[in-house]
Structure 1
Amino acid sequence: MSITTNGFSHVRLTVRDIDVSRRFYDTLFGWDVAFELPDDADEETREQLWFLFGGIIYSIPGGLLGLRPVAPGDDRFSENRVGLDHVSFGVPSRAELDAAIEILDSLGAEHEEVKDAGPMYILEFRDPDGIAVELSAPKD
């Protein structure tokens, strides 16, 4: 017997500094915010949004992506440890990958060049915590 799923729900990334990570993801993707604790939140609102853990949750196509700022300041991501290898977001075309390089360069983010990965093109890069992120575009 197996579990039937009906799609992707959410992913939460553990980050060191919510302000740094938020600037990065806001600039790169411009996603809408699904959940965020207001600065002037009362106790009831804080209790309702307990699941944010001081972070933010974005609404992305197909689900949610959260940033949770609980990692120690000297911690660094490694895809060679148990856990996440990388997260990949689809884009509509190769041109979007080329445009993403300009944004990544403006952010000072390390990245690879666009690669031919068989049925798709990919662009690999790192977020401020070194988390491996990828954009993938179908071949025309």
Structure 2
Amino acid sequence: MTSTPGPVVTTGVSHVRLTVRDLTTSRRFYDALFGWDVAVELPADADDATRERLWFLFGGIIYSTPFGLLGLRPVAAAHDSFSEDRVGLDHLSFAVADRAALDGAVEVLDSLGAPHEGVKDAGGLWILEFRDPDGIALELAAPRG
């Protein structure tokens, strides 16, 4: 009798990478909204050995976030667009401490000219839905309480 292997035990999120159309535009948005430190990027004066060592960036950058790493990979065609109704990502939700953090995020999104929904009651959470410059569906979520 053969047995089925047990489940894979995970310890958290290692990284998420988003495919974007234009790194400059996306980076401006993510820098202004979240202010995360950059973990890895190709130096402007990189030699061939450095470029080969950092091949996994695909011309993008990787941020260090509270949940792990988030990368921006600028390889999408200029006419491409995100849709949560296709196979793949529906949305990405980031946790924030409380409702006040969501209200502050509304101000930041407004200052960036980023369209967003108002803060909504989603049962046990308050959520704020918005999109990045490529239309990728993002959300901030805070516990109710």
Both proteins in one fold, TM over 0.5: yes
For residues 13 and 20 of structure 1, the distance between their equivalents in structure 2, rounded to whole angstroms, comes to: 13
1:1-80 superposed matches below 5 A: 1-80=6-85
Percent identical:
72
TM-score by length of 2: 0.95
CA distance in 1, matches of 2:69, 2:123: 28
**Counterpart amino acid of 1:75?**
D
Matches within 5 A, 1:45-124: 45-124=50-129
CA–CA separation in structure 2 for the residues paired with 1:42 and 1:34: 19
Shift of 1:62: 2.0
Distance 1:103 1:5 in 2: 34
- Counterpart residue identity of residue 105, structure 2: A
Runs of at least 4 residues off by over 4 Å: none
Distance 2:17 2:66 in 1: 15
User: What is the number of equivalent residue pairs in this alignment?
Assistant: 140
CA offsets 1:36-92 (integer angstroms, 9 cap, x no match):
001001111111110000000000012100000000001110000000000000000
**What's the CA shift for 1:2?**
1.0
Instruction: State the TM-score, normalized to the length of structure 1.
Output: 0.98
Matching residue of 2:3: none
Which structure is larger by alpha-carbon Rg, 1 or 2? 2
Question: Structure 1 unaligned runs (5+)?
Answer: none
- RMSD over aligned CA atoms reads 0.6
Alpha-carbon distance in 2 for matches of 1:127, 1:62: 19
Which amino acid in 1 is paired with 2:41? E
Q: Aligned partners of 1:96, 1:2: CA distance in 2, in Å?
A: 36
Equivalent position amino acid for 1:71 in 2? A
CA distance, structure 2, for counterparts of residue 48 and residue 103 of structure 1: 36
Tell me the CA shift for residue 123 of structure 1: 0.2
Letter in 1 for 2:14: S
Q: Following TM superposition, by how much is the alpha carbon of 1:33 offset from its aligned partner in structure 2, in angstroms?
A: 0.4
